[in-house]
Amino acid sequence: MEKRQVNKSVVIGTIGADAHMIGGWVLRRAFEEAGFNVAFLGAVVPQHEFINAALEIDADAILVSSMYGMGLLDCEGLRDKCIEAGLKDIILYVGGTVAAPLELEKNWPEIERRFTAIGFNRAFPNTCTAKEAVQTLKADLGID
């Protein structure tokens, strides 16, 4: 299988009806400082806007933030839509307080399993640092 060319480009935004943006701002700055081209979409972003931005900048990854507990619902179907749009190899990350109720949020392995089942490469808890996210994506892309 031919490996995709790495462009060091990412799309970052907060999905669904979630208006939280601080995490996205922090990620944006960290990825820009690491030399990535960042399309920052802000908050309350529908799935199709993530896809359109990824196509526009030939993104390597889509980084989805969700802090209001509805991430599982908001992210359902995103991988399929990416494939339909020709983005079958794009890396999908999600992070934040991505699941409700609180009992589920405390069971992180189950959350990771659920996001993997809907096509995400990785899920990060709200305790993940921006530095960790950058390092993880660089490793997943095979770059320094």
Name the phi and psi angles at 15, rounded to 5: -85, 155
Task: Enumerate residues 6+ apart whose C-beta is below 8 A from 95.
Answer: 23, 63, 64, 65, 66, 123, 124, 125, 126, 128, 133
Q: Per the residue annotation, which of 20, 48, 58, 89 is the catalytic one?
A: 20
Of 18, 58, 89, 144, which is the active-site residue? 18
Q: What are phi and psi of 7, to 5 degrees?
A: -105, -5
Cβ–Cβ under 8 Å, residues 74 and 43: no
The Cα 17–Cα 141 span in angstroms is: 30
Does residue 58 have an active-site annotation?
no
Token digits of residue 121 = 């490469």
Q: Is 48 an annotated catalytic residue?
A: no
Residues forming the active site: 18, 20
